[in-house]
Amino acid sequence: MKDFIGEHDNMKEKFYQYIQSLQDIICHKLQEVDGKANFQEDIWKRAEGGGGRTRVIENGNVFEKGGVNISAVHGELPETMRKHFDVKEGDFFACGLSLVLHPKNPFVSTVHANWRYFEMYNKKGEIVDSWFGGGQDLTPYYLFEEDAKHFHQVCKTACDKHNPNFYPNYKKRCDEYFYNTHRNEARGIGGLFFDYCKESDNMSMQNWYDFVSEVGDSFLEAYVPIVERRKALNYTDKHRTWQEIRRGRYVEFNLVHDKGTLFGLKTNGRIESILMSLPPHVQWVYDHHPEAGSEEEKLVKVLEKPKEWD
């Protein structure tokens, strides 16, 4: 994949090297946590330019399905993106790491994370815009406040090293973004979401790189302790049914609202990598409501309105 990243493109090269390394670190640790399944690797190329390295884990002791993918793609801006950025012509480069993990045990939360870098060029090949984006968020099926507080505290600690306003701002954006407006409920209990992080008087691109890599490096610390606490808990078919119903809401968000999914589909991305985020077993039950006073209802009540966890 070095053929489309020039040596002079420092930030592009630096971030691409970072996500390659981070993918290795995360996959190695998750295999260790699972104890059975290993990641299957798939190297792919995109006809219009670029490619990626998809890694998927399935049918493990802990992870029913998950993926930790990196990609670096480039080419002419598609019409839909030209309209979005209000430009008549131009090229783009985008690279990032995206992961989703769907555990088998309903008491272990699903998790999603993404860290990315984007450049846009004029016809002379000059950079006219560049930015970072990303975040990480937790989607429990049963609410353990200890887990929610831990996840958010790790996010806050990573943010506070760079700016005390980052955590409250990016938590709020996460609560707003990962929201199924057609259901009037959040997808999960949030985390961080940031986008269009550009050079400014206060933040250079190097500063943004330092921040995004800080968040990326914190992922395992945020998630693995939650998995370790819950992966051996006993569960019943009733718990699994609820998990699959809630997974349906996860699918709805990804296919209806998620910008990353829509970007991949509109730029002729690799469909297997894009839809890797979807869980293997899902239910849609007509007009389903949890029992009053149940643990299932407790979760739904929290998802109706964002909560402060730090």
Quick one: which of 139, 152, 162, 160 has its CA closest to 245?
A: 139
Coil, helix or strand for 74?
Answer: strand
Where would I find the H helices in the chain? 10-34, 79-85, 145-160, 166-177, 205-230, 237-256, 259-266, 271-274, 295-303
As a three-state string, the secondary structure of 14-62 is HHHHHHHHHHHHHHHHHHHHHCCCCCEEEEEECCCCEEEEEEEEECCCC
Tokens 């769907």 correspond to what residue? 102
Q: What does the alpha-carbon distance between residue 251 and residue 261 come to, in Å, rounded to a whole number?
A: 11
| Catalytic residue (choose from 74, 102, 112, 152) | 112
Active site residue 112: yes
Catalytic residues: 112
